[in-house]
Amino acid sequence: MPTKIAYFINQYPKVSHSFIRREIAAVEEQGFAVQRIALRGWDAEIVDDDDRADRERTQYVLRRGMAGLLAPLARQLLARPGRFFAALALACRMAARGERPLPYHLVYLAEAAQVVEWTAAFGAHHIHAHFGTNSTEIVMLAQALGGPSYSFTVHGPEEFDKPHALGLDEKIRRSAFTVAITSFCQSQLYRWVEQDAWSKIEIVHCGLDRGFYADAPAQASIAPRLVCVGRLCEQKGQLLLVEAAAQLHRKGIAFELVLAGDGEMRAQIEERIRRHGLQDRIRITGWISGKQVRDELLAARALVLPSFAEGLPVVIMEAMALRRPVLTTYVAGIPELVLQGENGWLFPAGDLERLTASMEECLAASPEQLERMGAAAQARAVERHSIGTEAAKLARLFTLHAAPQAQRAHAPQPEGAQ
């Protein structure tokens, strides 16, 4: 009988969270039965068929609104009052140090009560959450209520910006284990928790499915096209990218720039494009599916991502796996994957002149140079981010922590035990 675990995500499926779907599928291939739980996402716009299929398999905590959480909360109070008040005290402590006031944390407690009931009905003996924000607080409170052990994956940059407000130290201490996606991420977690807890922190990279890159053409794209994939937001640096494009335009350099994505800064970016007269050089796609992202990467000679803050963007490893060099910044875990002059170009975040120079060098590169860099990019991405290898690491951790709980749950109880 397979060991049963649950995955918990704030919003799922989501166009930028395809790596979570791949991870869940790979964990299932390792022999685990996986329950999918999310707070929201049942009514979100979905453009990917695989995401639509996974949405049908997901249970949504907030689907019936807050009123639907009152009954699970009351049942937890009546069934295990001691644990309930311990969890309530924990929620109050998290509120005292957090940015959000106490009512939010009481809502997290109610959401945790629903998670406890659903995981018990499924028979899950462990919960894994993605992102060290409210999703991890909810599974931590679920454990305090008497639910299964938990673990969580930290990505950044949000967790790096406000570790104390998020209570990362408390979440790590109470976890069975904590996953960092890069060595940089692991080092940041070391900063915020005592050394005795460092052994809980494991590195597991985000994984790539071989089907995504297996048929990637060996030849480089010679079109003078660069693509930037990501949410149109302040941390991704698209406004700086438009300024670099304007500099290239003034120099008379031929190029096309595709901004693949959408987001809160779209109007501001479009205004800047119009100001520089770049409407015929820069195209914004809006939200597109994973297949369309792949097509955009293959049609470009390189990915450009001038991020100001990151963890390690999945699209960088995807582009590299498709034999596309990457132009990006010396931020967080990025230099662990992208090597200057070998498989891409690295420049300081916020440095307009270095960004422009890197774009100019890439656009001037010969097909032979691009193919050589592309081959090196794919080799490094596959070596470090194979989904089978990374899922096996998670499987080992799940087996270590979830299987013993399953065995205890199924063991005969002594006479009179409750």
Render pLDDT for 225-262 as a digit per residue (tens, 0 to 9): 999 999 999 999 999 999 999 999 999 999 999 999 99
| Strand (E) or helix (H) holding 116 | helix 102-122
Q: Do 118 and 174 sit in the same domain of this protein?
A: yes
Q: Do 71 and 36 sit in the same domain of this protein?
A: yes
CA pair distance 43, 21, nearest whole angstrom: 18
Give me the CATH number covering residue 64. Answer: 3.40.50.2000
pLDDT digits (tens, 9 = 90+) for 269-303: 999 999 999 999 999 999 888 889 999 999 999 99
In order of 40, 314, 315, the CA distances from 182 in angstroms are: 28, 12, 15
Q: Do 293 and 237 sit in the same domain of this protein?
A: yes
Q: Do 143 and 215 sit in the same domain of this protein?
A: no
| Strand (E) or helix (H) holding 36 | strand 33-40
| Strand (E) or helix (H) holding 291 | helix 290-299
Look at residue 93 and tell me if it is in a domain: yes
Q: Do 46 and 103 sit in the same domain of this protein?
A: yes
Q: Do 306 and 167 sit in the same domain of this protein?
A: no
Look at residue 286 and tell me if it is in a domain: yes
Number of domains in the chain: 2
Give residue 203's domain range: 4-207+386-410
Please give the model's pTM, rounded to 2 decimal places: 0.91
- pLDDT given at position 16: 77
Look at residue 243 and tell me if it is in a domain: yes
Mean pLDDT, the chain, as a whole number? 94
Provide the percentage of residues in the chain whose pLDDT is more than 70.
96
Inter-residue contact 111 to 144 (CB < 8 Å): no
CA pair distance 298, 256, nearest whole angstrom: 14
CA pair distance 32, 5, nearest whole angstrom: 7
Q: Do 272 and 342 sit in the same domain of this protein?
A: yes
CA pair distance 250, 15, nearest whole angstrom: 35
Phi, psi at residue 38, to the nearest 5°? -140, 155
Cβ-based neighbours of 302, under 8 Å, separated by 6 or more? 226, 227, 319, 324, 325, 326, 327, 344, 362, 370
Instruction: Give the pair of three-digit tokens for residue 130.
Output: 């993605």
| Inter-helix orientation angle 81-97/67-79, to 10° | 120
- pLDDT by residue for the chain (418 residues), tens only, comes to 789 999 999 999 987 788 999 999 999 999 999 999 999 999 888 878 888 899 999 999 999 999 999 999 999 999 999 999 999 999 999 999 999 999 999 999 999 999 999 999 999 999 999 999 999 999 999 999 999 999 999 999 999 999 999 999 999 999 999 999 999 999 999 999 999 999 999 999 999 999 889 999 999 999 999 999 999 999 999 999 999 999 999 999 999 999 999 999 999 999 999 999 999 999 999 988 888 999 999 999 999 999 999 999 999 999 999 999 999 999 999 999 999 999 999 999 999 999 999 999 999 999 999 999 999 999 999 999 999 999 999 999 999 987 655 555 544 444 444 3
Look at residue 417 and tell me if it is in a domain: no
Look at residue 74 and tell me if it is in a domain: yes
CA pair distance 368, 371, nearest whole angstrom: 5
Q: Do 192 and 221 sit in the same domain of this protein?
A: no
Q: Do 201 and 264 sit in the same domain of this protein?
A: no
Look at residue 418 and tell me if it is in a domain: no
Q: Do 65 and 174 sit in the same domain of this protein?
A: yes
Look at residue 316 and tell me if it is in a domain: yes
DSSP string for residues in 241-266 = HHHHHHHHHHTT---EEEEEB--TTH
Q: Do 115 and 162 sit in the same domain of this protein?
A: yes
Q: Do 201 and 284 sit in the same domain of this protein?
A: no
Look at residue 415 and tell me if it is in a domain: no
